[in-house]
Structure 1
Amino acid sequence: MPEGDTVWLTAHRLHRALAGRALTVSDFRIPQLATTDLRGVTVDEVLARGKHLLIRLANDFTLHAHLRMDGSWYLSRVGGPRPRRHREHLIRILLGNTEWLATGYRIHDLRFVTRDAEDTLVGHLGPDLLGPDWDAARAVANLQAEPDRAIGEALLDQRVFAGVGNMYKCEILFLEHVHPWTPVRDVLDLRSVVDTSYRLLRANRDHPEQSTTGFVERGREHWVYDRGGQPCLRCRTTIERADQGEPPRARGTFWCPRCQPRR
């Protein structure tokens, strides 16, 4: 699943290509918006809110989109070859101007709201790790509100603070030496967990590669995530894997039993 840094970078690139320009291409390929025509409407800005994407338009409407597990946007120059990353039937939206074309593949939750109604879509989110509203103290307080909850599940709850996905959850807890099933009340330093979350997403937001180890070589970019059965890069103990959470929201969770012992 694209995590907060990926959504932030997507919004940043779309903003640079679309903001301040009138749309000349408007093609919605979902039934409920099939007749929508935004040609002539100027894009004011594109921004991320947690894992949500908001395209604010000069007509006082906002187009909301979510990447979920498999969505992606690609930019191409008008007149040049369009990226063929996916099959044509997976395109859900095309937006463009005289210079750039934005192609959205498998984009989810496309809908319009008025600018002043954005909170109906994203108002439930906690402070955004990569947003101007970031508030570490509030994030800690939100974690403390459910002291019996497993810290691994709490980090994925976007109402606590927004942006962390399953990969970062595993990596944050490894770096903090915290077992994923530790109750929030037993985590010795919640502020450190929050600060590590902020540091990792900020370090990765400006480029598509996601590394928590400092290395970008395949197989070395993560400490524990997706490395079940392999030796820990720190102590060589075999990394374990188990699903955490209730179906269908259970997520494959990775940890080192030596570096992250149960307390």
Structure 2
Amino acid sequence: MPEGDVLRRTAATLDAALAGRALVRAELRWPDAAGIDLTGRTVLGTRAYGKHLLTRFDDGRTLHTHLRMDGSWRTYRGRRAPGEADPFVRALLAGPEAVALGIRLGMLDVLRTVDEHTVIGHLGPDVLDDDFPVERLPEVLARWAQDPRPTAEVLLDQTVQAGFGTIWTAEALFARRLWPWTPARDVPDPATLVMTGRELMSRSIPRPRPSRVHGREGLPCERCGSPVACGTARKPPMERPVFYCPVCQTAR
């Protein structure tokens, strides 16, 4: 599933193609939104929050999309885009200079901008927001303080803090040499762990960075040379893989 850095890049790409421009074509190929016409509306911009995208318009409405596991937004220069008729295209937004296609989207709805809280209000603070370190981190730490769940599961829980997925969960834990199944309430310095993940994710926004541990099962750990292992966080059907070094990240 795309993580916070991917959503930030996607939002920036949509802004470069559409922000400040009136749509000359708009198609929402989604059962609950098929009758909604956004043609003529000016795109104010797209905001990423956690794993959600909020594209706002000048008439006080927001197009809310979620990529889930396989979704993406792709932009093309010009008035037409290849693959517009593809059945996996769920949204088409065309400005005078570029076209954006929402492909395999996992969620789509149009709502009043003032009602955005109805789709993201259940989420914790977005770790990539500018105000996170000073204003929102204390709120996150309060949730960590008494949580008995494994640390990897708490990092993945979007209601605690929004933005981390399997990649940056694994990378943050590896960077801090923490065993992924340490109870969250027993982590000696959760603030440093969360902020480490935030920093790693932030560095990946301009361009993706290679993983140090995620996806490297069986390959040698770059620190100690031991084979990287892969465990599981959360219960079915919400389980997620967690890659870690069984030597560098031992239980304490």
TM-score using structure 1 length: 0.90
**Corresponding residue of 1:122:** 120
**Corresponding residue of 1:138:** 139
In the aligned structure 1, how far is the partner of 2:63 from the partner of 2:174?
37
The answer to whether residue 242 in structure 2 is matched with residue 253 in structure 1 is yes
**Corresponding residue of 2:3:** 3
Pairing 1:1-263 to 2, within 5 Å after superposition: 1-79=1-79, 82=81, 88-134=86-132, 135-146=136-147, 148-207=148-207, 209=208, 211=209, 221-263=210-252
1:52-90 CA distance string (max 9 Å, x none): 00011111111100011010011111147x355x98121
Q: CA deviation at 1:10?
A: 0.4
In the aligned structure 1, how far is the partner of 2:52 from the partner of 2:89?
18
Structure 2 residue identity aligned to 1:2:
P
In the aligned structure 1, how far is the partner of 2:115 from the partner of 2:244?
40
Q: CA deviation at 1:169?
A: 0.5
Residues 79 and 18 of structure 1, relative CA distance in 2, 3 Å threshold: closer
CA-based RMSD of the aligned residues comes to 1.6
1:31-54 CA distance string (max 9 Å, x none): 222222111111112110111000
Runs of 4+ in 1 over 3 A off after TM superposition: none
Residues 164 and 83 of structure 1, relative CA distance in 2, 3 Å threshold: farther
Q: CA deviation at 1:126?
A: 1.3
| 3-state SS of paired residue (1:252) | strand
In the aligned structure 1, how far is the partner of 2:58 from the partner of 2:10?
20
Does the Cα contact within 8 Å between 2:79 and 2:96 map onto a contact in 1?
A: no
| 3-state SS of paired residue (2:182) | coil
In the aligned structure 1, how far is the partner of 2:146 from the partner of 2:251?
22
In the aligned structure 2, how far is the partner of 1:251 from the partner of 1:228?
14
Does the Cα contact within 8 Å between 1:23 and 1:39 map onto a contact in 2?
A: yes
Residues 255 and 70 of structure 1, relative CA distance in 2, 3 Å threshold: same
Structure 1 residue identity aligned to 2:166:
N
| Identity, % of aligned positions | 41
Residues 79 and 87 of structure 1, relative CA distance in 2, 3 Å threshold: closer
Structure 2 residue identity aligned to 1:142:
R
Does the Cα contact within 8 Å between 2:79 and 2:95 map onto a contact in 1?
A: no
Structure 2 residue identity aligned to 1:202:
S
1:103-148 CA distance string (max 9 Å, x none): 11001211011111110110111111222441222222222242x1
In the aligned structure 2, how far is the partner of 1:131 from the partner of 1:73?
21
Q: CA deviation at 1:156?
A: 0.4
In the aligned structure 2, how far is the partner of 1:27 from the partner of 1:231?
48
